[in-house]
Chain A
Amino acid sequence: KQEVTQIPAALSVPEGENLVLNCSFTDSAIYNLQWFRQDPGKGLTSLLLIQSSQREQTSGRLNASLDKSSGRSTLYIAASQPGDSATYLCAVTNSGYSTLTFGKGTMLLVSP
């Protein structure tokens, strides 16, 4: 059974710092991996989708990497801003029609 772990559970940084969020999964036979952002009391916003054949994806200040063989992904946020404060969730799919298995998230607080 796939299990997804995210470290750290919470992170507080001053504005402007570069930071890395970690995600690991137990079954490396994944179909794809997705990073989401969830603001308090809100739904999930998809940030990046990495296919199993890819090593990384970039969107603006965000860069997500995938090392399937070691069961790890990282989300790199450059030049963090207070507006980046949210919970970041990592999730993997094991086949095209299987469902996402989520980690418990990293709660990020960026202070001005």
Chain B
Amino acid sequence: DTAVSQTPKYLVTQMGNDKSIKCEQNLGHDTMYWYKQDSKKFLKIMFSYNNKELIINETVPNRFSPKSPDKAHLNLHINSLELGDSAVYFCASSQNGQGLHFGAGTRLSVL
């Protein structure tokens, strides 16, 4: 019954690897987001998709590539992982910007 679900919950990997994080929402929302929470706990937007179309792309390295196969899914693929990518990545969704619902987060550790 989870509204916004992300997998995996934890991801530990070596520098230089490629990894993906998946997100699914069953709320029927039209907009999905990826946020990054750094070591200082500050949350910053990375991407936003509305009806599968990219509408916001903040200053994020092009090693990060979001993909939205349908309105209910927004996946995040990261190439050539770097130490600085270690953070917690949160997926969220909303309908017409009316309050965001967040997933539980994916804690990425790059060694």
Which residues in A have some Cβ–Cβ distance to B below 8 Å? 31-32, 34, 36, 38, 41-46, 49, 87, 89, 91, 93, 95-102, 104-105
Kindly provide the distance from the CB of A40 to the nearest chain B CB, expressed in whole angstroms: 10
A87–B97 touching, CB < 8 Å = no
Kindly provide the distance from the CB of B4 to the nearest chain A CB, expressed in whole angstroms: 8
**B98 on the A face (CB < 8 A):** yes
Q: How far is the CA of A82 from the CA of B78 in the complex (A)?
A: 39
Question: For chain A, what secondary structure do more than half of its interface residues adopt (helix, strand, loop), or is it mixed?
Answer: strand
- Assuming the contacts A102-B42, A105-B41, asked whether A95 and B97 have C-beta atoms less than 8 A apart, the reply is yes
- Assuming the contacts A97-B55, A102-B42, asked whether A43 and B102 have C-beta atoms less than 8 A apart, the reply is yes
Size category of the B interface is 20 to 34
Which residues in B have some Cβ–Cβ distance to A below 8 Å? 31, 33, 40-45, 48, 50, 55-56, 90, 92, 96-105, 107
Interface Cβ pair total, 8 Å cutoff:
58
Residue in A42, A91, A96, A104 whose beta carbon sits within 8 Å of that of B104 in the complex: A42
Kindly provide the distance from the CB of A96 to the nearest chain B CB, expressed in whole angstroms: 4
Given A38-B41, A43-B105, A44-B102: 5 more A-B contacts, CB < 8 Å: A87-B41, A98-B56, A99-B33, A99-B45, A100-B100
The 6 A-B residue pairs with the shortest CB-CB distance, nearest first, are: A96-B97, A43-B104, A99-B45, A49-B99, A44-B102, A102-B43
B98–A32 touching, CB < 8 Å = yes
- Assuming the contacts A42-B105, A43-B104, asked whether A32 and B41 have C-beta atoms less than 8 A apart, the reply is no
Which residues does chain A contribute within 8 Å of B107, judged by CB atoms? 41
Q: How far is the CA of A49 from the CA of B95 in the complex (A)?
A: 13
Kindly provide the distance from the CB of A46 to the nearest chain B CB, expressed in whole angstroms: 6
Residue in A43, A49, A101, A105 whose beta carbon sits within 8 Å of that of B90 in the complex: A43
Q: How far is the CA of A45 from the CA of B50 in the complex (A)?
A: 22
Q: How far is the CA of A12 from the CA of B98 in the complex (A)?
A: 32
Q: How far is the CA of A91 from the CA of B41 in the complex (A)?
A: 14
Which residues does chain B contribute within 8 Å of A97, judged by CB atoms? 31, 48, 50, 55, 96-97
22 contacts between A and B (CB under 8 A): A31-B97, A32-B98, A34-B99, A42-B105, A43-B103, A43-B104, A43-B105, A44-B92, A44-B102, A46-B101, A46-B102, A91-B100, A93-B97, A96-B97, A97-B31, A97-B48, A97-B50, A97-B96, A99-B45, A100-B100, A101-B45, A104-B41
